[in-house]
Structure 1
Amino acid sequence: MAAPIVVVATITAKPGHEDDVEKVLSDVASAVHAEDGCLRYALHRKTGAPGVFVMVEKWASQEALGAHMKGAAMRQLGAGLRDHLAAAPDIATLEVVPAGDPVIGAL
């Protein structure tokens, strides 16, 4: 069985565009949750930085992540965020390093 893939995407809004970015990110969440292989898609705001959003994702496989990246929700996200970001999103793809308790030691 393929190992799950964790993605952490940091999205920074232009000053004054924070509400627009949050709305776009929130609006696509239900569609992404329904995608095959989506195990987690959770939006967060960086404490003390109202314009910095962090999406923590977990995908069942690299194939599921690849399908997500090419899907309708991502096209909607790209179009909706186009004029509202201060920079391109910072996207990190992570591999689990087993350590400690296997249940709480990994996403």
Structure 2
Amino acid sequence: MLNVVVTMKPKPGHIAEFEKSLGELLAIVREEPGCVGVSWGSIEGRDTYAVIETYLDHAARDEHLRSAALAQYGPTVAELLDEAPTSVVFTSV
């Protein structure tokens, strides 16, 4: 399994809009072929959110990165961020 952890910090005053847009995107991502699961939420004590995505393999993640949903919602979510997101990718052992 391939796991991706993304952290994002929304702009102050835009948290509700960020949560709505991200939630809509991730609802679609959960249904993508090769997506095993998605979990997300705010990191306790910080104004930052984490998303954990699990895919069957690199090919499934690559397909996600080319998806219509990411093309549609990605720019909206990016506009709502205070800084660039960070991510790490790792394979389950």
1:17 aligns to 2:23 (yes or no)? no
TM-score by length of 1: 0.80
- The TM-score, its normalising length taken from structure 2, stands at 0.91
Higher relative contact order at CA 8 Å, sep ≥6: structure 1 or structure 2?
2
Alignment: residue pair count: 93
Contact conserved, 1:25 with 1:43, CA < 8 A, in 2? no
Q: Could you tell me which residue of structure 1 aligns to residue 50 of structure 2? A: 54
Max Rg structure: 1
CA contact (8 A) 1:5 1:60 kept: yes
Percent identity reads: 28
More helix by proportion, 1 or 2? 2
AA aligned to 1:76 is Q
Give the Cα separation in 2 of the matches to 1:55 and 1:31. 14
TM-superposed CA distance for 1:83, in Å, is 2.1
Structure 2, unaligned stretches of length 5 or more? none
